[in-house]
Amino acid sequence: MTARQRLSAGVKVPSWAERAVPLLGIVVWLACLLRWGHLAELVTQWQLVAAFGVVIAVGEYFRFTLEDGREVAPMSLAAAIGFTLTSFCGDVDIRSVPAAPILFVTGAAMLLGSLPHLARGRTVGAAEIAARFIGVAFTASLFRVLPFVDGRSLVGAERIWSEDRPLLAVVMTVVSAVGLGGFLGMSALASAARRRRDLRQSLVDEVRTGAGLSLALSTTGALIALAERPLGVVALPLFLMPLVLTQFALRQYSAIRATDAQTVRVLSRLTEVAGFTRPGHSDRVAALCNDVGHELGLSDRELRSLEYAALLHDVGQIALTAPIPGGATLMAAPADQEQIAADGAAIVRKTGVPSDVADAVELQASPYRLVREQGQAVPLASRIVKVVNAYDDLVGGSIAPGRRAAAVERIQLGLGYEHDPRVVAALERALARQGSLDIPLVRES
């Protein structure tokens, strides 16, 4: 592998790193437990502790899963942040309470909210729970531990700006936002380890998808902490209500995305049921396109569009009067390939999936020379589908190493003319990682 190939492949996070995130969360929680002497300071404020603990536990119970498989619990995280930023609750002053007992109660409430799911045999994302807890620990450390002002923590030096509420609100929001950066970092590490991808790209994806929600969480946490001074614990349900409505909207959005994914998969089966393509062809192309996309550093959104395009790339064949032998569009005439792609794109545009999916399907038959010589805007997803589809047409699901190597060598004959050399190199790396290819890798041009 050349230096350029190693650079484009990125540094993949090992799978054991996913287990390291919950292990780190457990270590932090146990370290807080060892400071058990400070728990007495919270026991005297049991009403405040109980209110936050119940809300955090309920938020963990009502967590939900996004379309990419991640579990999120915005209500739990916002309440936990508000707990760490609380200095006054009505007439009660808890500025002297250190971070350890607050984090211990927070972690215990998160675990308590997960118990009903475990009791029913449901899968619980330990890495996601730990990432949330570590994010709260970052916030607590910044606000209640680190000596930022004259050798004192921010909560200890709060009297300096007690008369300047706008400044206090800004400080709390910034602290919680920086703390949530730790949450995003842990989530990215767990995601990169689970999917064996580049940590940098996973972090970029986490920021793109979670920055808006994280900003809302940091603002809500600061609002809860500020409003507790005049309102007491009533501020907790009052300022969490908008977040509850947001969570409901996110659940609905996630359900719609899941329905779209099911529609795409059902539609992709039409060509197999009608006998136009080999069984499992679209699934194999989609899976390998996903691996190639990871090698090329595509974002989660780009990978999702690529998967949809790969699943639907052959749907245009249902308009054929006679099937192509084996459904292998690689063997069809260029004009027929373009017609299949155009018919497929027309069908895809009626499904309601993002427009870039239809564009990728429509231009999948375009040779790479149009990009190189004429500067035609052929999406990278189209170029990936073209290469992977050609590979599966040649291999046909065979596991014979010789047939796979011969398929790659056949594709290499069209480098720079039919196929994008960068995509072919990524295909070879993906196959090498699977252990299904043992030939010299092509050099990217």
Q: Which residue type, as a one-letter code, is found at position 190?
A: A
Closest CA to 56 of 124, 110, 120, 111: 110
Q: Say yes or no: 363 and 403 in one domain.
A: yes
What span, in angstroms and rounded, lies between the C-alpha atoms of 221 and 292?
Answer: 40
What pLDDT shows up at residue 244?
81
Q: Say yes or no: 248 and 281 in one domain.
A: no
Q: Say yes or no: 65 and 175 in one domain.
A: yes
Examine the fold and report which residue of 208, 232, 256 is the final residue of a domain before the chain moves on: 256
Q: Say yes or no: 183 and 331 in one domain.
A: no
Half-sphere exposure of 440 (CA within 13 A, CB side): 4
Structural domain contains residue 170: yes
Q: Say yes or no: 250 and 334 in one domain.
A: no
Q: Say yes or no: 169 and 284 in one domain.
A: no
Q: Say yes or no: 9 and 37 in one domain.
A: yes
Q: Say yes or no: 210 and 338 in one domain.
A: no
Examine the fold and report which residue of 207, 232, 256 is the final residue of a domain before the chain moves on: 256
Crossing angle, helix 300-312 and helix 235-268, to 10 degrees? 30
What span, in angstroms and rounded, lies between the C-alpha atoms of 364 and 358?
Answer: 10
Structural domain contains residue 445: no
**Residue pair 306/289 in contact by the 8 Å Cβ criterion:** yes
* Polymer length in residues for the chain: 445
| Tens place of pLDDT per residue across the chain (445 aa) | 333 344 344 556 777 788 899 999 999 999 988 876 666 667 777 888 899 999 999 999 998 887 666 788 888 999 999 999 998 887 778 888 889 999 999 999 999 999 999 999 888 889 999 999 999 999 999 999 998 887 888 888 776 666 677 888 888 889 998 888 999 999 888 888 887 777 887 888 888 777 777 778 888 888 888 888 788 888 888 888 877 887 788 788 878 888 888 889 998 898 888 888 888 899 999 999 999 998 898 888 899 999 999 999 999 998 887 888 877 888 888 888 999 999 999 999 988 788 899 999 999 999 998 887 777 889 999 999 999 999 999 987 666 677 888 999 999 998 888 999 999 999 999 998 877 655 544 444 4
**Residue pair 44/230 in contact by the 8 Å Cβ criterion:** no
The helix or strand, by DSSP H or E, that contains position 88, with its residue range, turns out to be strand 88-89
Considering only the C-alpha atoms of the chain, give the largest distance between any 2 of them, rounded to a whole number of Å: 81
Structural domain contains residue 440: no
Examine the fold and report which residue of 229, 256, 283 is the final residue of a domain before the chain moves on: 256
Residue 1 burial (CB < 10 Å; 0-12/13-18/19+)? Answer: middle
Instruction: Encode burial over 318-349: b for 16+ CB neighbours within 10 A, e otherwise.
Output: bebeeebeebbbbebeeeebbbbbebbbebbe
Domain that holds residue 293: 269-434
Query: For residue 207, what are its two tokens?
Result: 């920021």
What pLDDT shows up at residue 7?
38
Sign of CA dihedral 345, 348, 352, 353: negative
What span, in angstroms and rounded, lies between the C-alpha atoms of 119 and 153?
Answer: 41
The helix or strand, by DSSP H or E, that contains position 65, with its residue range, turns out to be strand 64-65
What pLDDT shows up at residue 4?
36
**Residue pair 198/297 in contact by the 8 Å Cβ criterion:** yes
Structural domain contains residue 415: yes
Query: Considering its fold, how many domains does the chain have in total?
Result: 2
* CATH number of the domain enclosing 370: 1.10.3210.10
Q: Say yes or no: 121 and 207 in one domain.
A: yes
Q: Phi and psi dihedrals of 419, rounded to 5? A: -120, 145
Structural domain contains residue 439: no
Q: Say yes or no: 295 and 371 in one domain.
A: yes
Q: Say yes or no: 230 and 155 in one domain.
A: yes
What span, in angstroms and rounded, lies between the C-alpha atoms of 422 and 39?
Answer: 58
Q: Say yes or no: 105 and 165 in one domain.
A: yes
